[in-house]
Amino acid sequence: MPRLVSHPDEVKLVSRRFGLGAAQISRYEELGGYASARKCLELGPEWIITEMKASNLRGRGGAGFPTGLKWSFVPKQSAKPKYVLVNGDESEPGTCKDHLIFLHDPHAVIEGTIIAGLAIGAKMGFIYLRGEYRYLLEIMEKAVADAYAKGYLGKNIFGTDTEFQIMTHTGAGAYEVGEESALMESLEGKRGVPRIKPPFPAVVGLYGGPTVINNAETIATVPHVIEIGAAAFAATGSERNGGTRLFGISGHVERPGVYELPMGYNLKKMIYEVAGGVRGGRQLKAVVPGGSSTPVLLPDEIDIGMDFDQVGKAGSMLGSGGVVVIDDQTCIVEFALRTISFYQHESCGWCIPCREGTDWLKKSLTRFHAGFGVAKDIDNIKYLAENMMGRTFCPLGDAAAMPTLGFVKKFRKEFEDHLDGKNCPFAKHRIPQLTVV
């Protein structure tokens, strides 16, 4: 069972029911649950969207797109049914926040989905969980069944004439499916290959109907925005970044865990105070601030606020909020190799720059780490990565190229230390053995 952690600096909003038995519907309601959905039913779609826009809630999946704005793009009239699709395919290395939401607060996901449905005029929502999360899928399934039994889902939700249905759905192992268009393909029973945009999902999405796709954390945050009000939510975070975020701190820290902190919370403080600093009294070497696809930051670059804009200004991304801390005993070349091995394994092969690029990067880094690198490999790795950027349907190509570029740029010396048959200074030669299907 994943361990829950806490720290005095936390602002518990999304996580406030964690560990309190809220997977039971009666308990969820005792703790204020389903009041926001009722309120939204009363006040209507325009009010919901205005409120969401004012809240400054931005997508928690990684892109940070304003949620209210996204919802407002869905046309009011549509010949085809509209859908809400909740992205619980959480697969970005370093990210495990949705895991806790599904485990401790499944009804918040249901309630958020209902509210999104009301806002855009959809009658159906899907909650897509990655295949590995089977025990969480079972928790979600039970929660959905309980919500049906109470009349909170179905033809006449909460005794009104409004209909809203929810289905849970399992994936079967695929990182790429976390990308919204690939997610829709997967839900339609196909390979998770991305679709070209435009048209955007808000216009032509699932089964050809207008679709809103939100990350599970975003959706679970929605009822809290309604509950405390947009103004209070916006005031909790930093400028243009409303509310709190479930930051997952992992790697070489004393107290890894998922901590809910206000948007804009200082990264340095997050590592040294909230997570107890670097494990075993070692020195900090690098930080991956928002999941494995975000460019690495050096110790002197981490005195920044953790919101989408400030991390962007520092040359990286807030991404999924998965902070991976790396100590001074770690080989960056090995870390880069493990990262690219993942993207090579997960590339769907649809776009050539990503399919070939990830493969060549893995080959180069494998050779490099084994001590057979030559000087021009470093520039080749950079050249390859640069030429993947922006040249693919979905962001997987960028997600593979960006961190690689960061490692090469910021740790060039360490790459050079591996040259011409020199042993890895950290004396580890472990090459990932994942087979490629």
Partner 1 sequence: MSPETMTVFSPRLSERFDALMTKYPLKRSALIPMLLYAQDEVGYLSDAVISEVGMRIGITELEVRNVATYYSMLRFKPVGKYNVQVCTNISCMLRGAYDIYERFQDELGIGPKGITPDGVFSLEEVECIGACCWAPAIQINYDFHDELSPESVPGILASYRGKAQNEVPHA
The contact set with partner 1 (CB under 8 A) reads 2-3, 81, 90-96, 98-99, 124, 130-135, 167, 169-175, 186-192, 207, 248-252, 256-258, 288, 292, 322, 324-327, 330, 335, 338-339, 342, 345-346, 348, 430, 432-435, 437
Q: Which residue number, 56 or 292, has a Cβ lying nearer to partner 1?
A: 292
Provide, rounded to whole angstroms, the least separation between the CB of residue 405 and partner 1: 17
Which one-letter amino acid corresponds to residue 249?
I
Q: Which residue number, 32 or 208, has a Cβ lying nearer to partner 1?
A: 208
Instruction: Yes or no: say if 125 and 114 are a contact pair by the CB < 8 Å rule.
Output: yes
Q: Where are the alpha helices (DSSP H) in 229-297?
A: 230-236, 267-269
Instruction: Yes or no: say if 357 and 387 are a contact pair by the CB < 8 Å rule.
Output: yes
Provide, rounded to whole angstroms, the least separation between the CB of residue 383 and partner 1: 24
Q: Which residue number, 234 or 249, has a Cβ lying nearer to partner 1?
A: 249
The closest alpha carbon to 424, from 381, 368, 382, belongs to: 368
Provide, rounded to whole angstroms, the least separation between the CB of residue 167 and partner 1: 6
Provide, rounded to whole angstroms, the least separation between the CB of residue 327 and partner 1: 8
User: Dihedral of CA 259/12/306/347: which sign?
Assistant: positive
CA distance 204 to 195: 11
Q: Which residue number, 2 or 44, has a Cβ lying nearer to partner 1?
A: 2
Instruction: Yes or no: say if 107 and 356 are a contact pair by the CB < 8 Å rule.
Output: no
Provide, rounded to whole angstroms, the least separation between the CB of residue 431 and partner 1: 10
- Please state at what angle helix 352-367 crosses helix 375-388, rounded to 10 degrees: 160
Q: Which residue number, 83 or 152, has a Cβ lying nearer to partner 1?
A: 83
The residue behind tokens 């494990």 is 279
DSSP for 232-250, please give it: HHHHHSBTTB-SEEEEEEE
Q: Which residue number, 48 or 184, has a Cβ lying nearer to partner 1?
A: 184
Instruction: Yes or no: say if 185 and 193 are a contact pair by the CB < 8 Å rule.
Output: yes
Reduce the DSSP state of residue 142 to 3 states and report it.
helix
Residue 182, exposed/middle/buried by CB under 10 A (0-12, 13-18, 19+)? buried
Phi, psi dihedral angles at 196 (to 5 degrees): -80, 145
Q: Which residue number, 287 or 311, has a Cβ lying nearer to partner 1?
A: 287
Provide, rounded to whole angstroms, the least separation between the CB of residue 227 and partner 1: 26
The closest alpha carbon to 120, from 3, 26, 201, 5, belongs to: 201
Q: Which residue number, 46 or 188, has a Cβ lying nearer to partner 1?
A: 188
Contacts of 292 (CB under 8 A, 6+ apart): 92, 93, 94, 322, 324, 339, 342, 399, 403
Q: Which residue number, 265 or 335, has a Cβ lying nearer to partner 1?
A: 335
Reduce the DSSP state of residue 103 to 3 states and report it.
helix
Provide, rounded to whole angstroms, the least separation between the CB of residue 272 and partner 1: 17
Provide, rounded to whole angstroms, the least separation between the CB of residue 136 and partner 1: 9
Provide, rounded to whole angstroms, the least separation between the CB of residue 311 and partner 1: 18
